[in-house]
Structure 1
Amino acid sequence: MDFMTLSGLLGGLALFMLGMQLMTEGLRQAAGKQLKQILQTGTDSDWRGLSSGTLITTLVQSSSVVTVATIGFVNAGLLNLRQSITVILGCNLGTTATGWLVALIGFKLSTHFFALPILALGMALRLLGRHKKLAHLGTALAGFGLFFVGLDVLKTTLEGFQQTFTLQPEGVGLLGLASALLAGFILTVVMQSSSAAMVVILSLIASTNLPISAMAAAVIGANLGTTSTAVLAVIGATANAKRIAAAHVVFNLITGMVGLLLLLPARQLLDNLSAYWDPVLLLAGFHTLFNLLGIILFWRFIFRLSQFLERLFRTQEENLSAPQFLDRNILTTPTLALEAMSQELTRVSQLTSALARQAISSELTEIVQLERQRDAILSLCGQIADYNQKIARESLSEETSKQLPIALRVTRYYSHITQLAAHLPTYYDTLAALANAGLNHQINEYQQAAITLIDSCEIQPDSCYETNAHLQLLHLEKQYQRLKTTVLEQTVQGHLPGSESITLLDSLSQIHQLSQQVEKAARYWSSMLPLQIRQQPTHDHSGAS
């Protein structure tokens, strides 16, 4: 291969990939919110999710853009994992449109006839478009034209290999198919684009005498190669991103197997048909066919796969939100079920106490992490409330019937504490900027007193409410009133800006409410314990004076 041939191959491929990138980015920007709306409204059912994924990927010619958007919607709670899997299936089907675009237009019409005028029109819109949407549409059109210019360069360069490759009468053996499959896989891994690899394969079949069966194996390899993009993209990513990537990998492996099962018995037939039919169209059809059959086989297992993936790649917060003691098998024995719920509430108390301590002391500065912990605890509280209702449907003793409302009340307290704690970081900046040393000292003492109360009220197995906690709360109430008076006086005297004063009072009030909820949760929890435990003498574990 001489320098001119090599430069033609690389240059044509570069033009094609640049054109695809411009087309993808232009369409994505021009569509804007419409893409999001399609994803949100077009996933109400599995079939609509599949259709949405196929349509959007066909339009923007990039499964990566759709996949990233899908991951974002799953992380935001707008899509569940099952819905996202149907979109990913649609993405795989949508990427086969590239082959049809090349087969029906790229090798049929003259580049000078349509590609160059489209490129010129696109650049004119990009440069002269007054509206951003029009300029983005111009970018997409320019990319569309450049796509076919690169394709033409690639095809023209590969025509020089016409005499190099010849179709063997005996067809392609298993070793040849394996080599072609590996070549397609490596090509996609190197270029990180199955569409680019597909164009190279179609250009080869259009410009040389390579057997179509070998190129079909290369198409399967390219389809499998897209899994490398998904795997590389989720290194260090969120759990949802890893689950979606895993679904993508599993599906592509299945479609690859389907493709091979189709190809092995039919490779000779394909080679014979290519003598009468356009091999480029045959190859594009084969690509679509095995992806479509893969979807049909995969369809009935979507729900099971989503359930399986939910248990994989769990984040710390998701592990926190998973109940450890709420066993549905013991619901028919209400006393055991109540004990299980009590143990889960003990765990919630400890999680909530840790979160509240961090929030009050300003130790947890990453608000996103705090919000995730909040969501995990709130999810756990919701599951406890549901479990409470299930116990209530059983035949209950009088004592158990009385304890269920108390348990629900305690659960609600912990839910409120969690929300109050998660809101405290909004006041961090005001507290950090406070220049009044005396006021700072009072606030620190108040924060420490609240943390001491939280320590005293944190539920431990078989512990009971200590009267000392109520005394601590009364002491904290007095601190709060003194501190509030000081802030108001400092503001009236002009030592504190008015806006800063309001924010500061709000933060102190949040801590005050949180402390009240903490004490109530511990007090009501104690009434759920067996009488013999409640009558045990209390000990002061708080260390407060």
Structure 2
Amino acid sequence: MDYVNIIIPFVGGLGMFIYGMQIMSQGLENAAGNKMKSILEVLTRNKLMGVLLGAAITAVIQSSSATTVMVVGFVNAGIMNLTQAMGVIMGANIGTTVTGWLVSAVEWAEFLSPARLAPIAVIVGVVIMLTGKRRSARDIASIIIGFGLLFIGITNMSSAVAPLQESEAFSSIFVKLGHNPLLGILAGALITAIIQSSSASVGILQSLAAAGLVPFSAAIYIIMGQNIGTCVTAMLSSMGAKKNAKTAALMHLLFNIIGTIIFSIFAILFFKVINPAAGVGMINQTQISMAHTAFNIGTTVLLFPVSNLIIKLAKKIGRVEEDEFDEGKVQLDERIMETPVIAIQSVVNEVARMGDIVARSLEVAKKVLFVESYEDVVFLKEEESKVDRLSAGITEYAIKLSSLQISEKEHQDVAHLLQTVSDIERISDYCENISEFAENLYQKKLRFSKVGTEQLKEMLDVCADSYQYAIEAFKERSKEKALKVIEKETRADDLEITLRSKHIKRLTNGECNTEAGIVFLDTLVCLERISDHARNIAEEVMEQMV
């Protein structure tokens, strides 16, 4: 038998299958667009929502490995806790069955015959790609072309292995895998670990089944092994990550191993004792899809009630505890960049968190000039240090993100975020400046006059309100609150001019201490600039809403 003429077309078909799957999933992901941004909000809900979310996301990107790698990234970034991660991991196993159903559709939906539909899909997709000017058209074209290439790939694989039906040696391999559950599981795990895609691994199995080469029992054991093999990608991804991220990858592995052990026992009893004849018959593509789906749904249903025990077991095996949250450390992870739309939303969340830290600083700055408190001075300096670290980390991450192949709209979103980070960081600098003014007052035993204190407090309130509205406008994408910022900033500008004029008159008349008066004027400058940067944030929000 000429194995070269079997292997080369098979490998070529596999390459086309994987490439088609990738460009189709990329098109689906891009088409999902803003809907995927809501993922981070959904993640804050219960574990069942996590299962549904994991299934939906994996159905779109067609890779449980990619979803789990994303989960590892979320946990490493502190966006998701281990309980939420467990739900998404369970759902990912269900979502990955979609590709198998697409491939097996050639058996239960005749109109999806690759020979008939795949070439048409490719040419239709190419026409849309060449003629469509909008991004949405190109995304649709990617989905259609990917769909066609996927079917052409699976057809080529099936045709390539068809001659192996005559090979007794090759057939005996699958018979042995059916008789020996451990070998079957190891074979499925090894192949999936090598190509790092359970969807592609199932596709290979289906192409062999289409040629009438795979016994029912062997297929069941191989499918269970494939679920273990798909954990390799996440395990590799967790290398170098924080302890919790490694635990998330270990949870994925434990979940699939426990499910495999349980269902292997049932399979062995069925094929060895209850109905040995059932395991000898050849399986078809649709039956593989059914078995794959039943195994993954069954494992999820069975282990969902005890999922917290799996989390505890993963922690115990990995000898890890929950990491302490470092507020000054950027909670972003490059693994999430595999899905830019979610990575951008993660940056938005970090910028909002940075904004909240500065809002807290501004509240302390409102009182530090009037009540002697070295603790508040130290607090403001420490907060500024945190914000500097966040600013540098977020900026570095956003620049890396903008270097990826993302849409023009996404590039604009990143640019707006970078500008907002800069504005928030500058406001933090001014809060630190105010703390230095306060420290100077403490050391020289200086105080503002009663009138000066009242006027400065009024200015502080206006500017703090302006910034608070800016952060709320950023979080909520609220034009109404952005307009409030502009209103407050205008008030701050007018107030700064008025208060400066009145204060200079007091200095001229000798009604206040000169050194305290200089601090008063310097503070006015800082506050007016805080309101200017708050307005910049509001204008960035309104530009994004155009």
Q: TM-score, normalised by structure 2?
A: 0.58
Counterparts of 1:57 and 1:242, CA distance in 2: 21
Q: Does 1:7 align with 2:8?
A: yes
Matches within 5 A, 1:12-23: 12-23=13-24
C-alpha distance in 2, partners of 1:72/1:140? 26
Q: 1:70 to 1:178 in 2, by over 3 A?
A: closer
1:151 — aligned with what? 154
What letter is aligned with 2:31? A
- In structure 2, relative to structure 1, the CA distance for the partners of 1:51 and 1:30 (3 Å cut) is same
Give the gaps of 5 or more residues in structure 1: 322-350, 352-367, 379-408, 429-445, 451-469, 490-497, 507-545
Instruction: Tell me, yes or no, if the aligned pair for 1:12 and 1:152 is still in contact at 8 Å.
Output: yes
Q: Which residue of 2 aligns with 1:251?
A: 255
**How far off is 1:259 after superposition?**
2.9
Do the aligned partners of residues 142 and 477 (structure 1) sit closer, same or farther apart at CA in structure 2, a change above 3 Å counting? Answer: farther
Which of residues 170, 174, 189 in structure 1 aligns to 2:193?
Answer: 189
- Does 1:124 find its partner at 2:93? no
Q: 2:324 aligns with which of 318, 327, 339?
A: 318
Aligned counterpart, 1:303 = 308
Are the counterparts in 2 of residues 213 and 271 from structure 1 also a CA contact under 8 Å?
no
1:235 equivalent to 2:239? Answer yes
What is the CA–CA distance in structure 1 between the aligned matches of 2:248 and 2:72, rounded to whole Å?
Answer: 7
Of 266, 282, 287, the match for 2:287: 282
Counterpart contact for 2:75–2:244, Cα < 8 Å = yes
Instruction: Find the aligned partners of 2:374 and 2:440 in 1 and give their Cα distance.
Output: 20
Give the distance between the partners of 1:96 and 1:427, measured in 2 at CA.
41
Residues 184-218 of structure 1 show CA distances to partners (whole Å, capped at 9, x for unaligned) of 11111111111111111121122133322122222
CA distance in 1, matches of 2:390, 2:105: 58
Q: CA deviation at 1:477?
A: 8.5
The separation in 2 between residues aligned to 1:71 and 1:412, in whole angstroms, is 38
The 2-side partners of 1:411 and 1:93 are apart by 53
Report the number of matched residues.
387
Q: Which one has more relative contact order, counting CA pairs under 8 Å at least 6 apart?
A: 2
Equivalents in 2 of 1:273, 1:208: separation in Å?
15
The question of whether the paired residues in 1 share the 8 Å contact of 2:214 and 2:282 is answered with: no
1:432-459: CA deviations, max 9, x gaps?
xxxxxxxxxxxxxx99xx9xxxxxxxxx
* Aligned residue number for residue 296 of structure 2: 291
SS at match of 1:223: helix
SS at structure 1 position matched to 2:194:
helix
Q: Deviations over 1:223-281 (max 9, x none)?
A: 11111111111111244432321221111111221231122122257773478885333
Report the Cα offset of residue 21 of structure 1: 0.9
Distance 1:426 1:87 in 2: 28
Give 1:111's aligned residue: 114
Q: CA deviation at 1:310?
A: 6.9
Residues 385-412 of structure 1 show CA distances to partners (whole Å, capped at 9, x for unaligned) of xxxxxxxxxxxxxxxxxxxxxxxx9998
Once residues 13 and 140 of structure 1 are traced to their aligned partners in structure 2, the CA distance between those partners, rounded to angstroms, is 18
**CA positional deviation for 1:77:** 5.3
Deviation at 1:69, TM superposition (A): 4.1
Quote the Cα distance in structure 1 between the aligned partners of 2:216 and 2:116.
29
Given the superposition, is the C-alpha separation of residues 7 and 35 from structure 1 closer, same or farther in structure 2, using an over 3 Å criterion? same
Which amino acid in structure 1 is aligned with residue 34 of structure 2? K
Instruction: Report the alpha carbon displacement of residue 298 of structure 1 after superposing the two structures with TM.
Output: 1.6
The equivalent residue for 2:82 is 81
Q: 1:411 to 1:225 in 2, by over 3 A?
A: farther
Instruction: Summarize deviations over 1:277-300 as a string: whole Å, max 9, x none.
Output: 853333322222222222123212
Label 1:53 to 1:316 Cα distance change in 2 as closer, same or farther (>3 A).
Answer: closer
The Cα of 1:74 is off from its aligned counterpart by: 4.4
Unaligned regions of 5+ residues in structure 2, if any? 329-346, 358-372, 393-431, 448-513, 534-546
State the Cα distance separating 1:67 from its structure 2 match: 3.0
- The residue aligned with 2:499 is none
Q: How does 1:325-474 map to 2 (within 5 A)?
A: 418-423=382-387, 474=443
Distance 1:256-1:278 versus aligned 2 partners, 3 A rule: closer
Structure-2 separation of matches of 1:208 and 1:277: 6
- Counterpart-to-counterpart distance in 2, 1:427 and 1:104: 50
> Structure 1's 129 and 210: CA in aligned 2 closer, same or farther, altered over 3 A?
same
Aligned to 1:138: 141
Q: Quote the Cα distance in structure 2 between the aligned partners of 1:482 and 1:153.
A: 85
- Looking at structure 1, the residues matched to 211 and 62 of structure 2 have their Cα atoms a distance apart, in angstroms, of 24
Offset of 1:149 from its aligned partner?
0.2
Instruction: Give yes or no for contact 1:188–1:222 (8 Å, CA) kept in 2.
Output: yes
* Counterpart code for 1:110: S
Contact (CA 8 Å) 1:18, 1:146: kept in 2 or not? Answer: yes
> Quick one: which of 256, 261, 266 aligns to 2:270?
266
TM-aligned CA deviation for residue 72 of structure 1: 4.9
* Letter in structure 2 aligned against 1:24: S
Deviation at 1:132, TM superposition (A): 1.0
Cα separation, 2, equivalents of 1:230 and 1:38: 20
* DSSP 3-state at the match of 2:324: helix
Q: Is the 8 A contact 2:201 2:226 kept in 1?
A: yes
Larger-gyration structure (1/2): 1
Deviations 1:102-153 (A, max 9, x none): 2233785432311111122222222322221221121122111100000000
